[in-house]
A = this chain, B = another copy of it.
Amino acid sequence: MDQVLSSWNEGQPKERIIKFVRNATDQESPNYLSPESRIAVFDNDGTLWSEKPTYFEGFFVLERLEELYRTNPEVQHQVEQNPAFKQLLQKNFTDLHLTQKEVLDLVLLTHTKNTQPEYNARVKKWAETARHPQTHNKFTDMVYQPMLELVRFLDENHFKIFIVTGGGVDFVRRALSETYGIPPEQIIGSSIKYQFIDKSTDNSTLFRKPELSSFNESDGKPENIQLHIGKVPVLAAGNTDGDAEMLKYANDNNRPGSSLQILIVHDDCEREYCYDKHPDSEKVLLQARTSNWIVVSMKNDFREIFPHRLAQRPD
């Protein structure tokens, strides 16, 4: 038992998680779950890795925008026409306001109009080199050690783990699949449309169209869980209001004790970031408390936050 979840402090969250997994795998338990029903879903940003000062995918967007601005006259023109895009490129984030449409336009601009292999290579390279502006660690090192241990613990107990992220599905696959040890086919996210490029048998491929297919947030999460998995998860973990639908969906009220919901609360101003007083955070915390979900305080329940003795606090 000592080896299990060693970066978690002793306390109710750790106890409840271990008890749930022990019961799920104990055929004598009323809360035993068949291996094929052991589906666990995890949000990514703020649940498995950090998301401050903004979603890490935003830094990829910015880096790609800079490159396109230098090399693509069309993008140059598009940026010049938009004060917010110009401000973004100047890295002047104070009072930067982007509408939802502008954010989508930026995502499509920087994530599409190339082939899938080109895009994959670009994300991989970014993930291998890009560093966080405050900690100067690689973004892929800013994953939560206790959550990595939870993923490993579930995997050892024959749970099948899926990431269900609002981030771009192909971005998260290429940036994080190896770090988490979760294969690309178990990563579900927001998606754009693909267009098959038929070169007969001479390496036909896919073109990434500048068109949104699915935004994997809020209602989108349970809907895409059905599309991709076809089962209702028995365990769900998230950290914000956009994860609430997924957590509710995994809540089987007919069989109390046979499902588990985990809410990560960002209350550690010293070792990570604290934003637990944000209205979205407070709303989902209220839901968690009334629904008996496991509420994980990063400050109190995580013995360590990041792996490999990295710098654990922002500048």
User: Interface on A for B, CB 8 Å cutoff?
Assistant: 36, 39, 116, 160, 169-170, 173, 183-185, 187, 191, 193-196, 198-206, 213, 219, 222-223, 226-231, 245, 248-249, 251-254, 287, 291
Contact = CB atoms under 8 A, between A and B. Distances in A.
Nearest to A248: B204
Q: Shortest 3 CB-CB distances between A and B: which pairs?
A: A184-B230, A196-B219, A201-B251
Contact of A201 (B39, B184, B194, B291): B291
Contacts of A194: 222-223, 226-227
A210 to B, nearest CB: 15
Given A185-B230, A200-B291, 10 more contacts: A36-B183, A173-B230, A184-B229, A184-B231, A193-B223, A196-B222, A196-B245, A196-B249, A201-B251, A204-B245
A284 to B, nearest CB: 12
A227 B272 CA distance: 33
Contacts of A116: 226
A312 B187 CA distance: 42
A202 B187 CA distance: 27
A252 B252 CA distance: 44
Contacts of A36: 183
A279 B228 CA distance: 34
Nearest to A208: B226
18 contacts: A116-B226, A160-B185, A169-B230, A170-B226, A185-B228, A185-B229, A191-B227, A194-B223, A195-B219, A196-B223, A196-B245, A199-B248, A200-B287, A201-B248, A203-B253, A206-B226, A213-B227, A228-B228
A196 to B, nearest CB: 4
Nearest to A231: B184
A185 B248 contact: no
Contact of A198 (B200, B228, B248): B248
Nearest to A204: B248
Contacts of A187: 230
